[in-house]
Amino acid sequence: MVNASDLSIQSVTKSFGPNTVLDGISIDVRPGEFMTFLGPSGCGKTTLLRMVGGFGEPDSGRILLAGRDITHLPPNQRDCGFVFQSYALFPHMTVRANVAYGLKLRKLPAAEIESRVATVLSMVGLEAFADRHPKQLSGGQQQRVAIARAIAIRPSLLLMDEPLSNLDAKLRERIRFELRALQKQLGITTVFVTHDQEEAMAVSDRIVVMNKGHIEQIGTPAEIYGEPASLFVADFVGVNNLVPGKVREARGRTVMVETAAGLLEASHRSSSTGENVQLALRPEMITLVPAGQPASAMGGELEGTVRMAAFLGAATRYEVQVSDEVVLKVAAPAGSPPHALGSRVLCRWPVESAHALRA
């Protein structure tokens, strides 16, 4: 399909009474892009998504779809497919009638409705269930009907509010990939909402990390994962080594940070000398080697004692005491040589995986 449109959210603000739920949000979604709003519960994701779908108007700001200002259009004039967290299927209609609902409203000829319904049902693998009622389907199947119903109208924009959160973990992971494949096949511009960082990483072209009504970072999954722009993002996407310190000297792309475990080099965005920062380091970016090896040419290195080791199958988790106050968490991939409790080890990491983030 070729009707991919770009979405532009411009300085959108929304308050409910005294609390500002969205504070000057600007996001540009490219045609055909899979964009995810990621953030903790209550950060305003649903409010923003509903606003794009026409359910609620911003206090200020504009929303443009394919260049057209839709800020004040009612939902039925927006041409947005919406998949709700609860699926919101019509319980009194068959699967077929659910999917055909939007097409009938568009007054399409019966033959075309029939063929389009058949097409989308086969896309989601539900041809055999066309004559069932939603109550007679499993949660995963209901979910697919909700998606089929939304894409049947060939919307210029597909909006999904935590569509997988009511499914069990296994199914969630499977539908994740199906969803991603379907979206690429249709080439439809998509905005997806989730509070699950792993899910966001798995499906998205780009991710908007939101916190308390503002944007913390917009970037590809790799950027969000590898270069968190703020302490909030680092924490939210599972960086769990945070070492407090003070910037000693800025050297272009990197800074030297004075920490309780010594002077450490880290990449940074806009830190200046004297600033208080947290040094963020992913457990899986740290390599453990037995102490006493020659120092590595580049990157960070700290010596310490193994305080805890837990075998988790795919990885082994260690806690290494590198100074009186600092313990580093390390995730060693399966197959790497084990380190005994109490043994002396070197923790090594590439400089670009350590980030000095404003505290």
Partner 1 sequence: MSGLSGTVVAEKLPTAPVPAPRRGSFLPPFRWIFPATTLGLILFIILPPITLLSLSVNDRFDLVWGIFPAGVSFDLYRESGPAILRSVAHSMRIAVPTVILSFLVGLPVAYALVRLRFPGRGLLAELVNLPLVFPPIVLAFGLMQMFKQGPFAGVSPWVAIVLGHTIVSLPFMIQPIIAALQRVDIAVEDAARSLGASPLRAFLTTVLPIIVPSVLTGVALVFARSISDFEITLLLTTPEISTMPIAIYQAFESGSTRLGAAVAMATNLFAVGVIVILEVAVRRVRWW
Q: Does 45 bind ligand ADP (CB under 6 A)?
A: yes
* Among 35, 60, 48, CA closest to 218: 35
CB nearer to Mg ion: give 193 or 243.
Answer: 193
Q: For residues 266 and 251, give the distance between their C-alpha atoms in angstroms, rounded to a whole number.
A: 10
* Geometric angle at alpha carbon 324, from 318 and 328, rounded to 5°: 25
Q: Does 36 bind Mg ion (CB under 5 A)?
A: no
Q: Which listed option, ligand ADP, partner 1, Mg ion, none, makes contact with residue 175 (CB within 5 to 8 Å by class)?
A: none
Q: Which listed option, partner 1, Mg ion, ligand ADP, none, makes contact with residue 43 (CB within 5 to 8 Å by class)?
A: ligand ADP
Give the nearest distance from C-beta 299 to partner 1 in angstroms: 50
Give the nearest distance from C-beta 271 to ligand ADP in angstroms: 30
* Geometric angle at alpha carbon 214, from 180 and 26, rounded to 5°: 70
Q: For residues 58 and 112, give the distance between their C-alpha atoms in angstroms, rounded to a whole number.
A: 37
Map the footprint of partner 1 across residues 98-117, applying CB under 8 A.
101-102, 105-106
H helix or E strand, kind and range, residue 175: helix 169-186
Q: For residues 297 and 305, give the distance between their C-alpha atoms in angstroms, rounded to a whole number.
A: 22
- Rg (C-alpha) for the chain, rounded Å, is 24
Give the nearest distance from C-beta 38 to Mg ion in angstroms: 12
- Exactly one of 9, 21, 146, 157 binds ligand ADP (CB under 6 A); that residue is 21
- Exactly one of 15, 30, 55, 262 binds partner 1 (CB under 8 A); that residue is 55
Q: Does 16 bind ligand ADP (CB under 6 A)?
A: yes
* Among 34, 32, 27, CA closest to 8: 27
Q: In the structure encoding, which two tokens stand for residue 65, read together?
A: 């779809």
Q: Which amino acid is at 37?
A: F
Q: For residues 341 and 317, give the distance between their C-alpha atoms in angstroms, rounded to a whole number.
A: 12
Q: Which listed option, ligand ADP, partner 1, Mg ion, none, makes contact with residue 225 (CB within 5 to 8 Å by class)?
A: none
- Exactly one of 9, 12, 27, 47 binds ligand ADP (CB under 6 A); that residue is 47
* Among 198, 126, 194, CA closest to 160: 194
Give the nearest distance from C-beta 200 to ligand ADP in angstroms: 13
Q: Does 245 bind partner 1 (CB under 8 A)?
A: no
| Contact yes or no for 135/147 (Cβ under 8 A) | no
For residue 53, what are the contacts with CB-CB under 8 A and spacing of at least 6? 75, 78, 80, 82, 159
Q: For residues 317 and 2, give the distance between their C-alpha atoms in angstroms, rounded to a whole number.
A: 47
Q: For residues 197 and 233, give the distance between their C-alpha atoms in angstroms, rounded to a whole number.
A: 10
Q: In the structure encoding, which two tokens stand for residue 208, read together?
A: 């908007």
Q: Does 85 bind partner 1 (CB under 8 A)?
A: yes
- Exactly one of 2, 18, 41, 270 binds ligand ADP (CB under 6 A); that residue is 41
CB nearer to Mg ion: give 46 or 259.
Answer: 46
Give the nearest distance from C-beta 197 to ligand ADP in angstroms: 14
Q: Does 42 bind ligand ADP (CB under 6 A)?
A: yes
Give the binding range for Mg ion (CB under 5 A) out of 46-54, 204-212, 253-261, 340-348.
46-54
Q: Contact positions toward Mg ion, by CB under 5 A?
A: 46
Question: By the criterion CB under 6 A, which residues form the site for ligand ADP?
Answer: 16, 21, 39, 41-47
Residues that bind partner 1 (CB under 8 A): 53-55, 74-76, 78, 80-82, 84-86, 88-92, 101-102, 105-106, 133, 135, 146, 149-150, 153
